[in-house]
Amino acid sequence: MRQYQSSLVLVLLLLFLGAAPSVLLAASAGRSIASRTVFGQERITLKTSNTPPVVLSVEVVDLALRPEGGLRRTLPENGGLLWLYPQVTDQPLEARSNGVPVSVALFDRNGVILQILELEPCNTRCPRLFPKVAYRGRLEVAGGWFAQHGIGVGSQIEAASIRALKASAE
């Protein structure tokens, strides 16, 4: 019964936030709200104080469901991956099997960017990069994308999945 009530609250919250129908189906089925197989694409907005907002299409991945998640071999020019963690983490990142340069923004539960890392392609003996911050999620885009769009530490990522993640933690 408790799971049913939680799912109902989540569905109502997502409806209020304007979530896509596939997200509502996932929530009503009692699945994690950011499941890779259910969420698919989401449009997010990145805001900073000195540049206009930037809209980006991302694939949302919930690491509570996919703990082995890692970097992709390719990323679309105006797209990326939004990784959500079940709790705060400081786990290192690797660019293993990554065929292209990748920029990674680490963010807190409110979507505020805490650190940006640049990862170069690597196939063997890849270095592990240890973040200087504990983070709740990461946004991966093509190398140099954040700098090209004026996005930096302190910028805000706005996304329905981040709002729902924050609401479920409260």
Strand partners, 115: 106
Q: Given this structure, which CATH class describes domain 34-169?
A: mainly beta
DSSP collapsed to 3 states, the chain: CHHHHHHHHHHHHHHHHCCCHHHHHHHHCCCCCCCHHHHCEEEEEEEECCEEEEEEEEEEEECCCCCCCCCCCCCCCCEEEEEEEEEEECCCEECECECCCEEEEEECCCCEEEEEEEECCECCCCCEECCCCCEEEEEEEECCHHHHCCCCCCCEEECHHHHHHHHHHC
Question: What's residue 122's pLDDT?
Answer: 82
Contact 58, 105 (CB under 8 A): no
Q: What percent of the chain has pLDDT over 90?
A: 39
User: Is the model's pLDDT at 72 over the cut of 60?
Assistant: no
Question: What's residue 65's pLDDT?
Answer: 54
User: Is the model's pLDDT at 124 over the cut of 70?
Assistant: yes
- Over residues 111-128, mean pLDDT: 89
Q: What tens digit of pLDDT does each residue of 1-38 get?
A: 444 344 434 444 444 444 443 333 333 333 333 333 33
Domain segments of the chain as ranges: 34-169
Q: What tens digit of pLDDT does each residue of 152-168 get?
A: 999 999 999 999 887 77
Q: What percent of the chain has pLDDT over 70?
A: 65
User: Is the model's pLDDT at 70 over the cut of 80?
Assistant: no
Please tell me the pTM assigned to this model: 0.72
What average pLDDT is seen over the chain?
A: 75
